[in-house]
Amino acid sequence: MKYVVVALPLAALGLGSAVAPVPTATVTVRNSLARARRAETISLPLSQLPATVRRLDAASLRVHALPGNTLLVSQLLDKDGDGKPDELLFQTDVPAKGTQTFTVAATGEALPSSPLTTFARFVPERTDDFAWENDRVAFRTYGPNAEQLYDKKDPNGTLSSGMDCWLKRVSYPIIDKWYGRHVHEKPFAYHTDTGEGYDPYHVGSSRGVGGTGVLDGGKLYVSKNFATYKVLATGPIRTVFELTYAPWDANGRTVTEKKIISLDLGSNLTRYEEHISADKPLPNCTVGLTLHEQKGEVKADRPAGWCRYWEKIDDSYLGTGVVVPTSYLTDYQENRSAEKDRSQLYMITKPKQNTVVFYAGFGWQKSGQFADAAAWDAYLAEFAQRLASPLAVSCK
């Protein structure tokens, strides 16, 4: 008997079949500081991914930490509002002088759910506030209807482009719940602490925590309430929105202003990208921090780019602060006044191409985050140091 041997490809036998490799990007994050960095947000532009990964459906991209291949919470961000994602966000801890490595690939895995998130929305049920929060802090500011009511001398009106603090001591979102109390329990119920925190902070016509203006001839010129808003993103890592303002006068100059505001999970400071220009050159863009009745304690580190106020509010203490990258900062001033809402710290900046970036926020002792003023100072100092030495992110 003769046997005919026929050579078949291994793939036809189902043995050793070639499988195309899954397109994968390797992301390396390096920390140059001699201190560990916790919960740092990594913002990875999709344009920097390898071409094979860029061609994949962005919604299917997943981030894994190495070693261990741990699936991380991530968020796609449409930075310019054109309906297409531009960046992939995730958070990580990086050891002192250390390196962390991640992979980005399209998988069928469901994104991990997180009990912590960021949030922002327009609030028509309280006149027309705009409010935003994360797991540590919450803020609000005021819209055009509140301004109109103020002009009519309606007690529900508010005239202010200052930034308000909402003191929360829980990690879950409270904005909807507190405004719900305002509507369904009693007006302004959020001024009473029932265990989650409350709003005891006074803004008035001051800058609150991070409101802006133009300082000229010893006088601060400011806008009125925001005129329009646009929410760009909310999610487990970052919330982003825009506020625009009607043209306003700064000592004979007609000023146009837009703020792109963002807040990351785990941060006590909101990031402000201030776009400000005028029909005549502006001397500065000044960031303010109210001193209320001047009963608190001021501290500033001008070379590092931060200032703060530590004051007692009811039965606890509140630290507020502003951090400015030193490339923008030109001066720091204390303005003390007998007039209501006029005592403020000023961080005076020089915009670059009509833009300045700064950070402003707070730490409330009763939240358990900061035991004393020294702890708040350490937070601001470290924040400024991290700004000056950003993580190096490479992708291949």
What average pLDDT score do residues 169-183 get? 96
The model's pTM: 0.93
Cβ atoms of 357 and 328 within 8 Å: the answer is yes
Q: Are 357 and 272 in contact (CB under 8 A)?
A: yes
pLDDT of residue 15: 45
d(CA 90, CA 92): 7
* Structure confidence at residue 81 (pLDDT): 84
**Do the bridges between strand 226-233 and strand 24-30 make them parallel or antiparallel, or are there none, so unpaired?**
unpaired
Predicted pLDDT of residue 97: 97
pLDDT of 14 > 90? The answer is no
**pLDDT average, residue stretch 153-167:** 96
What's phi and psi for 15, nearest 5 deg?
-115, 125
Mean pLDDT over residues 169-173, rounded? 97
Percent of the chain scoring above 90 in pLDDT: 92
**pLDDT tens digit string along 252-283?**
999 999 999 999 999 999 999 999 999 999 99
User: Does position 240 have pLDDT exceeding 80, yes or no?
Assistant: yes
Q: What is the mean pLDDT of residues 160-171?
A: 98
What mean pLDDT do residues 150-179 have?
Answer: 96
Q: Class of 23-107 per CATH?
A: mainly beta
- CA 191 to chain centroid: 24
Angstrom distance (rounded) from CA 277 to CA 260? 15
Residue 7's pLDDT band, with cuts at 50, 70 and 90, is very low
Render pLDDT for 49-81 as a digit per residue (tens, 0 to 9).
999 999 999 999 999 999 999 999 999 999 888
Could you give phi then psi for residue 174, rounded to 5 degrees?
-125, -10
Kindly state the average pLDDT of the residues 310-328. Answer: 98
Whether the pLDDT of residue 2 is over 70: the answer is: no
Q: What 3-state DSSP class applies to 380? A: helix
250 pLDDT exceeds 80?
A: yes
* The pLDDT of residue 20: 67
Checking if the pLDDT of 325 tops 70, the result is yes
Average pLDDT over residues 216-225: 97
Q: What integer is the mean pLDDT of 329-354?
A: 97
- Contact predicate 362/137, CB 8 Å: yes
Instruction: Check whether the bond before 23 is cis (ω within 30° of 0).
Output: no
Q: How confident is the model at residue 19 (pLDDT cuts 50, 70, 90)?
A: low
One CATH from 1.20.1250, 2.70.98, 1.20.140, 1.10.287 for 119-388: 2.70.98
Q: What value does the mean pLDDT take over residues 109-129?
A: 95
Q: For residue 9, is pLDDT > 80?
A: no
Q: Which residues sit opposite 99 in a β-bridge? A: 30
Check whether 17 has a pLDDT greater than 70: no
Q: What mean pLDDT value characterizes the chain?
A: 94
Domain ranges of the chain: 23-107, 119-388
Quote the pLDDT of residue 22: 86
- Predicted confidence at residue 4, as pLDDT, reads 34
